[in-house]
Amino acid sequence: MAVAAHDSKPIEGYLPIDPPVTVDGERVTIDARGVYYRTLNEAVRRSVTGGATEVVLENVNGQRYIGTGVPGAGVRIVVRGTAGQDTAMFMDGPTVEVFGNAQDGVGNTMNAGRVVVHGDAGDVLGYGMRGGTVLIKGDVGYRVGIHMKAYERQVPVMVCGGKARDFFGEYMAGGMLVLLGVDSRIDGPVVGAHTGTGMHGGVIYVRGEVEPWRCGAEVGVSAADDQDMARLVPVLEEYCAAFGADIEAISASSFTKLAPVSHRPYGRLYTYL
């Protein structure tokens, strides 16, 4: 879509110039240096509708919404640099692999696809996420996995290899959220406070112990049993395959399971007038 005249002024220090694009068969390389996010994402979408199956973005420095509005499940987007806010937001199929860190909102309201971040990521990851997989190698911030949900065959999975801050899995309604605490630069507990507050579906697995006081009143805390491990091990294997981690070492520890005590946490809150 053409940029309309009244939007074409310099925005936030960027000129709306098209980025340099190198085409090599179905592989397209785009130099993102100094390119405004809107023109960068237009170039990605243009490449994909033009038949590219792999789009490599070089010199990414915080451009937003990479992977948003990109059609096609067979498409792989490689990000070199720091992926900006809301990477893979509303994404519906493609794979985004970030060689670097990612900012806030990775996988926000994501429907399908796969995100792999070879580094740390920020706050509010996977908010309202309904499907697909998000793998973060290292630490994550606050409010991660809020209101993840599941519907029929769509069951989202997010694995964070490092530690997480407060409100991990708040309002969780479905899917699987895994926290390993193994690849971390945070000096502190594996997870912050208010974990799983308002949880009414899905499951959280945390490697090692979680003190019950860190969890919301709606969360039941137990040790992961064999059945849980049968679900968890394939996900751990996926994490290890993505980042070259040692599955033996990771699965050597016990896991704690956090699950909702009710699917109707607020069913008794009201008196009907």
Chain positions contacting other proteins, by CB under 8 A: 1-2, 4-8, 38, 41, 64-65, 68-69, 85-86, 89-90, 92, 104-105, 108-109, 111, 124, 127-128, 130, 143, 146-147, 149-151, 154, 167, 170-171, 173-174, 198, 200-201, 263-273
Instruction: Decide if 117 contacts 135 (C-beta within 8 A).
Output: yes
For the CB of residue 223, give the shortest distance to other proteins in the complex, in Å. Answer: 25
* Cβ closest to other proteins, residue 199 vs residue 221: 199
Amino acid present at 117? V
For the CB of residue 13, give the shortest distance to other proteins in the complex, in Å. Answer: 16
Radius of gyration of the chain (CA): 20
Instruction: Decide if 70 contacts 48 (C-beta within 8 A).
Output: yes
* Cβ closest to other proteins, residue 102 vs residue 124: 124
For the CB of residue 73, give the shortest distance to other proteins in the complex, in Å. Answer: 12
* Cβ closest to other proteins, residue 22 vs residue 262: 262
- DSSP for 4-51 reads PGGG-S-BTTB--PPPPEEEETTEEEEE-TT--HHHHHHHHHHHHHTT
* Cβ closest to other proteins, residue 65 vs residue 205: 65
Find the helix or strand (DSSP H, E) in which 71 lies: none
For the CB of residue 106, give the shortest distance to other proteins in the complex, in Å. Answer: 11
Alpha-carbon gap, residue 87 to 55, rounded angstroms: 15
For the CB of residue 228, give the shortest distance to other proteins in the complex, in Å. Answer: 20
For the CB of residue 160, give the shortest distance to other proteins in the complex, in Å. Answer: 17
The beta strand positions in 137-198, using DSSP E, are 157-160, 173-179
- Rounded to the nearest angstrom, the gap between the alpha carbon of residue 139 and the centroid of all alpha carbons in its chain is 12
* Cβ closest to other proteins, residue 101 vs residue 256: 101
End-to-end CA gap in the chain: 52
For the CB of residue 208, give the shortest distance to other proteins in the complex, in Å. Answer: 26
Instruction: Decide if 102 contacts 119 (C-beta within 8 A).
Output: yes
Structure tokens of 20?
């340099």
* Cβ closest to other proteins, residue 54 vs residue 92: 92
* Cβ closest to other proteins, residue 117 vs residue 199: 199
Structure tokens of 3?
């940029």
